[in-house]
Amino acid sequence: MTCKRRHRGLSIWPAIAFLSLSALLLLGVCWWYLLPALEAYKHANAAQRRILSLHALLVMSALLVILGLCGLLIFRIGPRLFARPAGRPKPTPYVDAWAESAKRLQIPKD
């Protein structure tokens, strides 16, 4: 009887979930915020238009920054950017505890 082992590698399901949820989030923000803001933009004066456009820019930029950071976390891009040097690590020196304590021992002169 053979046991199948799954290869522990990058899966496509987190990518699909991230892309679908981010698309839903962007569509939701566009539907419930940007489209009403565009409708209000038509009937606003110059000062109100500037405030509406800056507010929409702030909302969309914050949303894109959050989605970008979540994408970096999901796709695990950090280890590829900040890779450790590929050299072999130095071996750990194992010191004999009894020999070290004998070096530090101070015998009183009687």
pLDDT, tens digit (0-9, with 9 covering 90-100), for 38-75: 899 899 999 999 999 999 899 989 998 998 888 888 77
CB contact burial 59-95 (16+ within 10 A = b; e otherwise): eeeeeeeebeeeeeeeeeeeeeeeeeeeeeeeeeeee
Mean pLDDT, rounded, of the chain: 83
Domain locations along the chain: 26-75
Report the percent of the chain where pLDDT is more than 90: 26
Mean pLDDT along residues 80-107: 81
* CB of 9 closer than 8 Å to CB of 28: no
* CB of 76 closer than 8 Å to CB of 38: no
Residue 92 confidence (pLDDT) above 60: yes
